[in-house]
Chain A
Amino acid sequence: MLTQNLNLVARPSLLPVSSFDCPYEASKQLNTLNFRLARAKRKLKVTRIKASFWDSIRSGFLKENSTEVIEPSSTLPEEEEPLPEEFVLVEKTELDGEIEQIVFSSGGDIDLYDLQALCDKVGWPRRPLSKLAAALKNSYMVVTLHSLRKSPGSEGNDQKKLIGMARATSDHAFNATIWDVLVDPSYQGQGLGKALIEKLIRALLQRDIGNITLFADSQVVEFYRNLGFEPDPEGIKGMFWYPKY
């Protein structure tokens, strides 16, 4: 019964446009520290020129063996990202013979301009594209719905349109937060938003990520309640930071 507009779940960033830059130099200074960590007999190799931030953490977690096994991010067994899937959720045949398919996809690439157009349609404030791109890239899981229109006869004339999206950020172990759930207004009321969220929850729970949170606007609290979410359970509340200049 989705008669309400699925609007903003994640509050948009409230800040002005600025370029995004995220340097990580964690491994460099470790060798130049004056004090040694007595409990760790590990030494971080200087020769790792391109060692990434996470590699340095992982090798730091190896306990009291002097063999430095520096594992690249992909070989840790627990680090499998959710496998991308794509399948047709709904298929409808129009009166003029056209078939419209709604395709669910996870882990797919999103065209940022499509996404921004969709955000405009639901009435969200604009956010800098670079930040959007970074946010999507670093989210644990991004699920999308596309509408595929196939006209009969002419193959290759399919129209693909982004009609829904949801994403979740997580620490891959305990906590996850669902942000930015949106469905094109003309496709609302069909259970598509519900499918997106259910898929996200299922994927998160399968990885034993038990704390799934989201921040719902007042109009959509009922929608999420029907999906199994509880507002302020046991007094748990989210607070946001307000810079005091």
Chain B
Amino acid sequence: MEVAAVAAQLNCAAGSYKAMEIRWATSKDYQKRVSSKLKSRRIPIFISTNPSDLNPRDLKELCITCNHSFHRFPTLDHNGKLVEAVDLQKLRVALSHSSVLVSVFCNLQDASVDDNQPEEHPLASPLMGLRDLLRTLPLPAVSPSNSQLVGFGRAVSDFGLTASIYDVMVVPSLRRMGIGKMIVKRIIRMLTNKEIYDIAAICSANERLFFKACGFGDDILGSTTMMYTRSVSTYPQSDQMAKRAGRKLLILPPVRKAP
């Protein structure tokens, strides 16, 4: 699994702000059947940190494709799929208050065309790379306008001390190609540029290995991650207000006023 950085970077006229960058994602598929030759796919993807490039509806679709929920304890059906999609308005609010937004686009036709090509001889790969490069130039033809959102990640920060990374997702067909890692690296880079070094990622058990590979580890200060889970089912009492968060019905603590 490797990502090769490419020389072509799109700089805008304003100067140093890189709005959109082209990257190559590669995957090495080891063919088990006949030969053990490497077959690598090189797919151009676009990574952007510009929030205007992101359409919330596309993101909602991506969440459905990735079966990702914004709630920590979502309601799942018997197949393990999400029952309800994320609310679009809430999504907009969340995005507008996120400090860093990273979106990855890819022309999915390109990605699927590679699959149909006959097995490439490994020696031809430098040529393949060149052909891919030629295919993608002139660049305006392969802009994000005809690409689809295939990956996303965001972080919320207080711009002073801390930041938390949430909702890193990549479409299943393009996983294990280094895209997720690229997203996380980009988020970290943006945060460290603003001098925030205390970056947390709250992840479920199956995401842990991914974040470990991105350079995350257990807290050196030994703190325990805790979440508010007091719900109606675990704390039955009369006359309490509760709010739904995914599949949990969280209880609001009582109001206290002066005696």
Contacts and interface: CB of A to CB of B under 8 A. Distances in A.
A13 B157 CA distance: 13
A117 interface: no
Interface stretch (B1-9, B36-44, B114-122, B199-207): B199-207
Contacts of B14: 25, 28-29, 32
Interface in B164-221: 164, 166, 188, 192, 194-205, 208, 211-212, 214-221
A205 B229 contact: no
Nearest to B242: A205
A181 to B, nearest CB: 12
Interface in A1-56: 8-15, 18, 20-22, 25-26, 28-30, 32-40, 44, 54, 56
A25 B228 contact: no
B66 interface: no
Interface string B140-164: 1001111000000010111111101
Interface string A224-245: 1101111111111111111110
A12 to B, nearest CB: 7
B35 interface: no
Max chain B C-beta neighbours (<10 A), residue from A30, A173, A235:
A173
Nearest to A130: B160
DSSP class of A's interface residues: helix, strand, loop or mixed? mixed
A233 B227 contact: yes
A241 B216 contact: yes
A30 B50 contact: yes
Contacts of A126: none
B164 A177 contact: yes
A26 B224 contact: no
A235 B205 contact: yes
Interface in A35-79: 35-40, 44, 54, 56-58, 60-61, 63, 78-79
Interface string B9-44: 010111001011000000000000000000000000
Interface stretch (B77-85, B93-101, B123-131): B93-101
A241 B215 contact: yes
Contacts of A20: 159-160, 194-195
A230 B226 contact: yes
Contact of A87 (B55, B225, B257): B257
Contacts of A177: 162, 164, 200
A13 B4 CA distance: 33
Contact of B51 (A22, A60, A132, A179): A60
B73 to A, nearest CB: 7
Given A15-B197, A34-B140, A243-B197, A58 B96 contact: yes
Contacts of B236: none
Contacts of A56: 51-52
Contact of B158 (A138, A202, A216): A138
A87 B255 CA distance: 12
B236 to A, nearest CB: 13
Contacts of B143: 35-36
B226 A60 contact: no
Max chain B C-beta neighbours (<10 A), residue from A11, A12, A39, A238:
A238
A229 B229 contact: yes
A220 B140 CA distance: 56
Given A29-B19, A33-B12, A213 B201 contact: no
Contact of A175 (B145, B164, B214): B164
A132 to B, nearest CB: 7
Contacts of B89: 78
Contacts of B12: 29, 32-34
Given A58-B96, A170-B97, A239-B211, A11 B252 contact: no
9 contacts: A20-B195, A35-B144, A138-B159, A174-B71, A175-B156, A198-B253, A201-B253, A212-B228, A229-B226
Given A229-B226, A239-B219, A240-B218, 20 more contacts: A11-B198, A15-B198, A25-B17, A29-B17, A34-B10, A35-B139, A56-B51, A91-B258, A171-B156, A174-B90, A198-B256, A210-B248, A211-B72, A213-B164, A233-B73, A236-B203, A236-B225, A236-B227, A238-B225, A241-B188
